[in-house]
Each structure stands twice: as structure tokens, then as C-alpha cells.
Amino acid sequence: MNKPLWLQTLSNWVLGEDPHLRRHVFLLLITLQPYAVSVGVIMHSEHLKLLEPHMAHELIVASVLTFLTVFALVRSGWSQRFADPVLTFPHALVTIALCMAAYAQLGDNRGNVMILIAQTIVLSMFRLKPIQVLMLGVFTVITLGVFVVWTAFGVDAHSNASSGWTHFVVGGSTLLTLSLIGKWVSDIRVRIGRQARELQEAVDTVKQMATCDMLTGALNRRMMTELAENELKLVERSGAPMCIALIDIDHFKHVNDHFGHHAGDAVLRSMAQHAQGQIRQVDKFSRWGGEEFLVMLPSISAIEGMNAIERLRQSIETLEIPGYPQLHITFSAGVAQAKVGESLEHLIERADEALYDAKRQGRNRSLLAQTDLKAPSSASNASSSETMS
């Protein structure tokens, strides 16, 4: 269901339009809940005369400014340069420091602050690294100890000492235990994330192995066969033209015999990389076998296909093979245009015959299949017959 325009505008203004930025701002907005509770506790304590009005106002202003500052850094995109764009760790440290400042002032109502600190640790554990969660817990216990000591030996030492030490022992141990649990949860999250990345990398590798030739990076024969057969179905349905070109590197055996198989591999890689940079984005390039390559040229006529392969052939003549500056290669090619109802095997056979003719005529040339050369005249004769009738 589409959102109303005013709601979409408001959402874009608050969260931004970039999907990654919106997600980060949304995660930050989740922390509004403990901020709201914290302000409510402060205001309630002021109402009960447990907190001086000026101190309550200072704590509220500090809380609001902290959130607005972090929100501005995240919403502006400035924090995107960091590993954690939500700024979880520094934000949590400042929040706990504010809670401890409130703890020192709230007197008998300070037990509520311990719950807010626990909420901060729980919210943070899903974004922080395990060591950061543990550091957060240690920082909390140390800060709590400092404020308890300050409270116990302060002006109101006699009335607050007992409850302060109780909070330190019970609350400190609870918060430290919570941070250890948070570290364990964070450990699991990091491990699952790492395993998910490794699994995705393995899946990508398997996909590449299933679709690409490992030496050249070009499509493999199985994948090209599948793509070409799908394209032939489109030719049959719509009548759209499609050409294939069968390419064979000239004198490749000479390269292997005189320069070694490493040179042969370098030639194949260079050929494939160069060719894929020269053809159109919709064209498909595959290693068909040995030193043979098959190019599929969708939505293109026989003459246009010939011109494309000729441009590629001429550019290959100047190709430099990395590590073998003395090597210069050429190729011969046969081009054929698919006919409606023609099988892939027959189409490749016609291109192969043209390739054989190109080699027989001296190599380093591209030839169009004989049946495609006759097509224009046949069409012309058919048109003349129709006119006479």
C-alpha cells in the first residue's frame, strides 16, 4: 500500500532517501525509548522533590543535546565513514555517563537508573564487537564505583552509604554479568556473520565455476549453450535477428610448442579479456574448447555481425600479451545468422564451415556462412516472383 504523500515526505525528511542511511537512522531512533524513560524519571524525581529543579533541567538538556548531536551526525551522513555508522560505542558511553550523573543526584529514586543502564547495554550488544561490549560493562562498573564512593563520602554520606554500596555490589555485578552475556551474544552474532559471508563467497565461487571458464574468465560451453538456445527461442517467437561467431586463434599449437603452455594460457586469457571489453554489453563471449571461442550477437544481422567480428579481429592484431612482448596473435572466424526454427547444432555447424573456409584461405580473416551470403539474393528473387505474379 502506498504511503500518503505527506507521510512519505516526512519519512524522507527524518530518515533520508538512501536505503543504507534510512536503516542507520532508524536504528538510532530506537534509542529514543530509553531517552524518553530517562527524562520521565528525572521529571518524576523533580516532582517528588528528590532532585533540585536546576539539576533536573541540566540533565534533561544534556540528554536532549546528546541525542540530537548523534542524530545530526548520523542523519547528515557524516558517520558513514566509520565501520559503525550508528556510532553505537561512543553513544553508549556518553549515555551511561549521563545515567551515572543522574544516579549521583536522584537519591532514593536512583534504582531506576540501573534499569536504564541495563537497557543501554542490551541495545548496544547487537551492534558492538564482543570486546566493545565487555569494555562497556567494565566502564559501567568502574563509573558506578566512582559515583558510589563519591556519594558515600559526600555531604549526604550517612543516609546514602548503605544503599549506594548495595547498588554497587548488586547492580555492579548484575551489569557486569549482563555485559558478559552481551559479549557472548555479540560473539555468536559475529561468528554467524562471518560464516554467512564465507558461505556467500563459496556460493559465488560455485556459481562462477558452473558458468565460467576458470582459465579465461569467459562463459563456459555449458552456460553459452543454455544462453544461445534461449536466444534461438526468442528468434523463433519474434523473428529478431541473432548471429554467432566461431573464433579460432591462428597457429596456437606453434605458440605452445615454441613458448610453452604458460604462454598459451596467457594468450587465451588476454584474448578473452580483450574481446569482452570490445563487444557490446548484450553480446556473450565464451570459451568453446581449446583455442576456440564462441560469440553470441543478439539483435544483429549477418552483415552487422561480420562488421563487429572484423573490428574485433583488427584490434586483436595489435594486442600485447603480458610477459610475452614478442608474441602477436591473430584469429580466423566464421559468422552465421540464425534462421527461424534452426537448431543450435546446425547454426554452429554453418559457422564452423565458414571458419574452416577462412583458415583454408590463409587465416587472419572473418567469413560469413555461405547460406547467409545467398540469403539477400534469394530474398530478392522471391520479391521479384511476387511482383510478376
Per the structure block, which three cell numbers stand in for 46? 523533580
Is the pLDDT reported for residue 159 higher than 50? no
Q: What is the pLDDT of residue 108?
A: 62
183, 230: one domain: no
Q: What is the pLDDT of residue 243?
A: 96
200, 98: one domain: yes
Mean per-residue pLDDT of the chain = 84
Q: Which of 69-78, 115-124, 257-266, 367-376 has the lowest mean pLDDT?
A: 367-376
159, 248: one domain: no
241, 353: one domain: yes
Q: Which of 134-143, 160-169, 310-319 has the lowest mean pLDDT?
A: 160-169
**Burial class, 248, CB count within 10 angstroms (exposed 0-12 / middle 13-18 / buried 19+):** buried
Mean pLDDT, range 289-305, rounded to an integer: 94
- Looking at 206, 233, 261, the residue that finishes a domain is 206
Instruction: Residue 338: give the domain boundaries.
Output: 221-388
Burial 20-59 (b: 16+ CB within 10 A, else e): ebbebbebbeebeebbeebeebbeebbeeebbeeebbeeb
Q: What is the pLDDT of residue 374?
A: 58
Q: Is 214 within a domain?
A: no
Q: 296 and 242 in contact (C-beta within 8 Å)?
A: yes
Q: What is the pLDDT of residue 109?
A: 64
Q: From CA 247, how far away is CA 261, in angstroms rounded?
A: 20
Confidence band, pLDDT 50/70/90 cuts, at residue 167: low
Is the pLDDT reported for residue 299 higher than 50? yes
Number of domains observed in the structure of the chain: 2
Q: From CA 41, how far away is CA 37, in angstroms rounded?
A: 6
Closest CA to 367 of 316, 318, 302, 322: 302
227, 193: one domain: no
Is the pLDDT reported for residue 20 higher than 50? yes
170, 290: one domain: no
- The residue ranking higher by pLDDT, 194 or 5, is 194
- Tens-digit pLDDT profile for residues 56-81: 898 899 989 999 999 999 999 999 98
- Looking at 206, 231, 264, the residue that finishes a domain is 206
> What count of other Cβ atoms lies within 10 Å of the Cβ of residue 131?
11
Q: What is the pLDDT of residue 163?
A: 60
158, 227: one domain: no
Q: Is 32 within a domain?
A: yes
- Looking at 176, 206, 236, the residue that finishes a domain is 206
Alpha-carbon separation of residue 376 from 165, 236, 303 (angstroms): 99, 20, 11
Mean pLDDT, range 165-187, rounded to an integer: 76
Q: Is 171 within a domain?
A: yes
Q: Is 211 within a domain?
A: no
122, 238: one domain: no
pLDDT > 90: what percent of the chain? 42
Mean pLDDT, range 288-303, rounded to an integer: 94
Is the pLDDT reported for residue 329 higher than 90? yes
Q: Is 212 within a domain?
A: no
226, 202: one domain: no
Q: Is 216 within a domain?
A: no
CATH number at residue 325: 3.30.70.270
Q: Is 47 within a domain?
A: yes
Q: Is 215 within a domain?
A: no
Is the pLDDT reported for residue 195 higher than 80? yes
Is the pLDDT reported for residue 251 higher than 90? yes
173, 272: one domain: no
